[in-house]
Amino acid sequence: PRFLNGPNSALSVSPAKVELTPRATTLHLGIELALVIKKVANKIKSNKADDYILGYTPLVSVSDCSFQEDVVEPATHQERNIPYVYGRWADGYNVILDQPLKRKSSEIRNLAMSLEIEGTRKIKGALNEYVVAAPKVLELVSKFITLFPGDVVTLGRVSERIKISAEKAARKKIKGKGEIKSLGKIEFSFHKLQ
């Protein structure tokens, strides 16, 4: 597992204008489940997780592959993949609801997830694709780092992703929607930073 204490500027709130950096080339988009921390969490047990979770939100993540395209070869396997990990932490590249929805962790199993990009395609998934449920993820993360109120923890993208050209997305101001059934819908559009 990789714990990134990324800046909160990596988040934007639906409806969002995802402003693509000038260097952006190819984008990979995914839909995932995220939870928002309610109170300081350190070394908590999964059976107490609901006490530390303010609520859940769908999260649409956008990864800019331009960092990966600029890796100088020869490179190790890790050197080739680190840019892909960090490519999703640009300002506003992760869109969430403005208010997470309070649910018990037992109420959010097997919910349908979807991501649709105007003019391309739609992907579908379900929360049962996650190998580990949110309470166990929170237990693992809080074992190594202290989480504070308002911190967002994502469970990661489902396996299927949408790939789109950054130039096309910005030029056409393409819109998209992400949803987790009964947790809410996220709307966003793409724009290019000048």
* Residue 2 pLDDT exceeds 60: no
Counting every residue written for the chain, the total comes to 194
Identify which has the larger pLDDT, 121 or 190. 190
pLDDT (mean) for 101-114: 92
* Residue 193 pLDDT exceeds 80: no
Which tens digits make up the pLDDT trace of 35-90? 999 999 999 999 999 999 999 999 999 988 887 777 677 888 888 777 777 778 88
Distance (Å, whole) CA 138 – CA 127: 16
Residue whose structure tokens are 């960092």: 67
Asked if 141 and 153 touch (Cβ cutoff 8 Å), the reply is: yes
CA distances from 71 to 12, 68, 76, 136 (A): 28, 6, 10, 34
Distance (Å, whole) CA 108 – CA 137: 14
CA nearest 154: which of 42, 47, 21, 56? 56
Task: Output the pLDDT for position 81.
Answer: 77
pLDDT (mean) for 103-132: 90
Which tens digits make up the pLDDT trace of 134-179? 999 999 999 999 999 999 999 987 778 999 999 999 999 999 999 9
Task: Output the pLDDT for position 90.
Answer: 83
Residue 5 DSSP SS3? coil
Distance (Å, whole) CA 76 – CA 89: 22
Given the DSSP bridges, would you call strands 26-37 and 152-157 parallel, antiparallel or unpaired? antiparallel
* pLDDT category of residue 1 using cuts at 50, 70 and 90: very low
Task: Output the pLDDT for position 194.
Answer: 67
Q: What is the pTM of this model?
A: 0.89
Residue whose structure tokens are 């204008």: 17
Task: Output the pLDDT for position 148.
Answer: 93
